[in-house]
Amino acid sequence: MARIAVIPGDGIGKEVAPEGVKLLEQIAALRGLDLQFNHFDYGADRFLADGTTLPPEAIADFRDNYQAILFGAVGDPRVPDSRHAREILLALRFQLDLYVNLRPVKLLADRFSPLRNKGTKEIRGVFFRENTEGVYVDVGGTYKQGTPDEIAVTEDVNSRKGVERICRAALDYARRHGVKTVWMSDKSNAMRHAGGLWQRTWKELAKEYGDLELKHMYVDVLAMQMVLKPEMFQVVVTNNLFGDILTDIGAGLAGGLGFAASANLHPGRIGLFEPVHGSAPDIAGTGKANPIATFLTCALLLEHLGHDAEARIVEQAVELAVAENVLTPDVGGDRDTQAVAAFVRAQVERLARA
Ligand code: NAD
Ligand code: IPM
Ligand code: MN
């Protein structure tokens, strides 16, 4: 039995996460998997109603009693400083120590490529974003706030342990998947302290992973090469902030945020699974939210639970929706969220019985 906590969050998170649950419930029923879902209302509505972001006991409850969290998105215009988003999403990532943010960049069909002459053969990488350190740790402060002399400091925190474990995660993944070249990306030419640590760690690991080619590229150049020669990058490892930015470029290369899935992992522990996109207030409530990022996220969740065959079924069902153009407007279709979801479920039904 696997217990899954569902946190739809805000905006389109509340539209796509329930479709993810329906898909998982359906595949569980068809294939005899015992998945149990518990829903949590953490998000802007709850925060604005009673001040709760993530109750202190939630972390231990998730850690001890659940195998996975299916997350929608957080972010709401009524909370302009995004306090609840940090206290929910970043707290989950940090306090559960989910140090691997795994973000596939996989183009599903050539027609979604924004690049001339680059298609599914070229755009098929996996990014390993460090997920518990960097400028996200909220170390810093302001001085003389509100005066013309105001100073703001956000520290970039990098530990040897943190850098090494995310690099190892990328390298071990490459080994498992037969990828020979792994790229580490930093900005060590300008940020010499943190960058130096990444460089030293990477060089040491190169000795241990002699069967792989450990390469380095500065993050500015890597951002450019992703657009010019995406085929160079099958596995990339980088820090929290650079990973955030590069994986939105990756989402763009793979047809947009409507297709981009992610997993927040710590091997052997609970995983947090979320589409890369946010709460999309501009389309919330219109039925335009693309549920496919969430479905591909559900495939990652199924893999995490050891249900690889079921994960492949979900991916194949999504591929059929793509082939038939049963898609939302962000990716050139004319269907709404529920129509796409119903079509994908129908394909799952067929594939699971086959
Ligand atoms: P966003 O990802 O919400 O939206 C960016 C653009 O992409 C919008 O035009 C949106 O309509 C479109 N889009 C995103 N997902 C889509 C989908 N599934 N289907 C169709 N179109 C989609 O980013 P934003 O507008 O910068 O942020 C909105 C809020 O979400 C902010 O509060 C932000 O902090 C938050 N956010 C949360 C997460 C998360 O919870 N993981 C991630 C990113 C942003
Ligand atoms: C993401 C988001 C988050 C991040 C925000 C909402 C804090 O952009 O999941 O990519 O920067 O990690
Ligand atoms: Mn992001």
Q: What is the pLDDT of residues 192-220, one digit of tens each?
A: 999 999 999 999 999 999 999 999 999 99
The pTM is what? 0.97
Measured CA to CA, the distance from residue 75 to residue 311 in angstroms comes to 28
Strand-pair partners of 213: 181
Residues 213 and 87 in one domain: no
**How many Cβ atoms from other residues are within 10 Å of residue 334's Cβ?**
10
Q: What are the b/e assignments for 297-332, b being 16+ CB within 10 Å?
A: bbbbbbbbbebeebbebbbebbebbbeeebbbebbe
Count of the separate structural domains present in the chain: 2
The strands making up 235-238's β-sheet, listed across from edge to edge, are 35-39, 2-9, 68-73, 271-275, 261-265, 100-106, 124-130, 235-238, 181-186, 213-218
Please, how many CA atoms are within 13 Å of residue 348, restricted to the half-sphere of its CB?
28
Task: Say if ligand 1 is within 6 A of residue 14 CB.
Answer: no
Statement: residue 327 has pLDDT above 90: yes
- pLDDT, tens digit (0-9, with 9 covering 90-100), for 222-255: 999 999 999 999 999 999 999 999 999 999 999 9
Q: What is the DSSP string of 176-197?
A: HTT--EEEEEE-TTT-HHHHHH
> Is the same domain home to 277 and 258?
no
Ligand 2 pocket (Cβ < 6 Å) reads 85, 244, 276, 278
Q: Return d(Cα 3, Cα 44) in angstroms, integer.
A: 25
The pLDDT value given to residue 354 = 79
Residue 353 pLDDT level (bands cut at 50, 70, 90): confident
Cα–Cα separations (whole angstroms), residue 315 to 185, 187, 321: 29, 35, 10
Confidence band for 302, pLDDT divided at 50, 70 and 90: very high
Q: Is residue 213 located within the same domain as residue 283?
A: no
Reported as type and span, the H/E element at residue 87 is: none
Mutation test residue for ligand 1: of 78, 87, 277, 295, the one with most atoms within 8 Å of CB: 277
- Nearest of 196, 177, 178 to residue 186 by alpha carbon: 196
What is the chain's Cα-based Rg? Answer: 20
Nearest CA, atom 9, ligand 2: 276
Q: Which of 91, 29, 101, 63 is nearest to 246 (CA)?
A: 101
Cα 12 to middle of ligand 1, angstroms: 8
Mean pLDDT of 77-92: 96
Structure tokens at 158: 């990098």
Task: Decide: residue 176, CB within 10 A, 0-12 exposed, 13-18 middle, 19+ buried.
Answer: exposed
DSSP reduced 3-state for 326: coil
Residue 32, by phi and psi: left (phi above 0), alpha (psi -120 to 50) or beta?
left
My answer on whether 302 and 327 are in the same domain is: yes
Whether 256 and 286 map to the same domain: the answer is no
Q: Do residue 160 and residue 226 come from a single domain?
A: yes
Domain of 91 in residue numbering reads as 1-98+268-354
Q: What is the pLDDT of residue 16?
A: 98
Helix (H) / strand (E) element for 233: namely none
My answer on whether 285 and 352 are in the same domain is yes
Q: Rounded mean pLDDT of the chain?
A: 97
For residues 131 and 271, give the distance between their C-alpha atoms in angstroms, rounded to a whole number.
12
Residues 125 and 253 in one domain: yes
pLDDT one-digit tens code per residue, 175-195: 999 999 999 999 999 999 999
Q: 79 and 104 share a domain?
A: no
Last-in-domain residue among 223, 239, 265: 265
Q: Report how far ligand 2's centroid is from the alpha carbon of 200 (Å).
A: 28
The answer to whether residues 153 and 237 belong to one domain is: yes
Q: Write the single-letter amino acid at 92.
A: L
* 103 lies in the same domain as 238: yes
Per-residue pLDDT, 44 = 98
d(CA 283, CA 289): 7
Both 153 and 25 in one domain: the answer is no
Q: Specify burial of residue 38 (Cβ count, 10 A radius: 0-12, 13-18, 19+).
A: middle
Handedness of CA 166, 156, 184, 104 (dihedral sign): positive
Q: Is the pLDDT of residue 89 over 90?
A: yes
Q: Which of 241, 265, 289 is the last residue of a domain?
A: 265
What CATH number is given to the structural domain containing 288?
3.40.718.10
- Tell me the mean pLDDT in the region 267-289: 97
The three-state secondary structure class of 324 is: coil
**Å from CA of 278 to ligand 2 middle:** 8
Domain boundary among 239, 265, 291: 265
Q: Which atom of ligand 2 is found nearest the CA of 241? A: 11
pLDDT given at position 101? 98
